[in-house]
Structure 1
Amino acid sequence: MTEKKTVKIPPISSKRFAILGIMLLCLVLQIVNSLPGINLNGLGILPRQMSGLSGVFFAPFLHGGWAHLFSNLVPFAILGWLVCQFSVKRFWLVFAGTALVGGLLVWLFGRSNIHVGLSGVIYGLWGYLISYGIMHRSLKAILISIAVVVLYSGLIWGVFPQRVHISFESHLFGAISGAFIGYIMAKRDKQKSPKL
């Protein structure tokens, strides 16, 4: 009698699933987007157009090309992993919060171009980690915040207009929404457990 081998699928609560799952989705969509006659980027955020409002949900997973995608994967993996050090649930909250709030702000105030890319969420994770460390002031949060500043201090320049084809609005509003979420969560966590 032979034993049946079962394939274990990592649960949604695992760090690996959270980060690699999103990266894989972006990769698959970029492959599809590279096929002749297909342009998924039309599903991105088109500010102040009702047809472009659904882009708030799709934009983080779409990219302008392979270079755009690859430039986002490493910082997303590192910053996402750092947020996961608090909990995977926290990662999902920050990811969804920055994607939705930042995306809505881009839709309201961004330039009238299609905005796509994971960079808005990356800036959201960045803003969250710095804000949370400053507000919570636990040793763990401060050390992570310092690591983020050391590794990614250069991201600050991305919130200013530089190149026409780069959505600084996604960076700016992602960072603002991430910092706001960090502030709210730090206050809540301090009230629940000052020693977190």
Structure 2
Amino acid sequence: MDKHFKFSNSVIGLPLFFVLFLWFVYWLEIRFGFDFGKNGILPRTFSGLQGIIFSPFIHSDLNHLYNNSIPLLALLAALQFFYAKQSFSVIGFGIIFSGLLTWIIGRENYHIGASGLIYVLVSFIFFKGLLTKYYRLIALSLTVIMLYGGMLWYVFPEVDNSISWEGHLAGLITGFALSFIYKTPEYKKELKYDWEKPDFDPIEDKFLQRFDENGNFVNLPPIVEEEVELPYFNSNDAVVYTIIEKKEDD
């Protein structure tokens, strides 16, 4: 596995917790008869500012919630695995800035749902992968656009008046901006061989020396061993030897 990306419990825990919380909020609404729709984004009104924080956690019906849950599980897991250091910031600021932009450009109606956050994640993962120019992240970008590229149509008005195209457009713009704001480490391919290194000199390489300029295999010239005269050490001190006769055993 690539040393830049490490699996942790948060890769599964983050998306599960987030989606389960959405379902918990919806359960509270139907169980106790609450109407959280009025806590959504109501553009250009002071009371509608609360929806910037609350709207991603509010859904109109079960189908709306289900359609947002599946992409969130996949995208949040991908974000946490490949961009672990930026994940919480992308989620937090993605919710705030996409919600604020929806509050500015949205129609005079309540805008609710986590689809704006989904567009933030799709946009961020796609553009960030292209900006890094790292092959694994580029592959992730292509996978995301292949799976969710059809969502692009829903950032235009009149495609479906029952959805908040303004929230989708705001999420797309926010994710694009965040991909430039948050920096990732410079991913470099690990060099395993000497010939991959920039300071590699083929002339000094023992293996390449066995080939001539035409690529033909040649034998290395014979190694000539030079005789080296070892220095002798002299001493000016006199050496006296004493001879002791060996005694025979009785």
Q: TM-score range by the shorter chain?
A: 0.7 to 0.9
SS of residue paired to 1:98: helix
Same amino acid, percent of matched pairs:
33
Residue 193 of structure 1 corresponds to which residue in structure 2?
186
Q: Which residue of 2 aligns with 1:114?
A: 110
Given the alignment of the two structures, is residue 78 of structure 1 paired with residue 78 of structure 2, yes or no?
no
**C-alpha RMSD of the superposition:** 1.8
Indicate yes or no: 2:145 matched with 1:149. yes
Verify: 1:165 aligned to 2:162, yes or no.
yes
Q: Paired residue for 1:137?
A: 133
Return the structure number with greater helix share: 1
| TM-score for the superposition, normalised by structure 1 | 0.86
Shift of 1:134: 1.5
- AA aligned opposite 2:26: Q
Q: Structure 2 matches for 1:1-196, cutoff 5 A?
A: 14-35=10-31, 37-161=33-157, 162-185=159-182, 188-189=183-184, 192-195=185-188
**2:37, 2:22 → 1: CA distance?**
12
Shift of 1:194: 4.1
TM, length-normalised to structure 2? 0.68
Q: Does the 8 A contact of 1:97 with 1:178 survive in 2?
A: no
C-alpha separation in 1, matches of 2:180 and 2:139: 17
CA contact (8 A) 1:45 1:52 kept: yes
C-alpha displacement of 1:140: 1.6
Where structure 1 has 5 or more consecutive residues not aligned to the other structure, the ranges are 1-12
Q: Is the 2:37–2:112 contact (alpha carbons within 8 Å) kept by the matching residues of 1?
A: yes
Which of the two has higher C-alpha Rg?
2
Larger RCO (CA within 8 A; separation ≥ 6): 1
Unaligned runs of 5+ in 2: 1-8, 190-250
Give the number of aligned pairs: 181
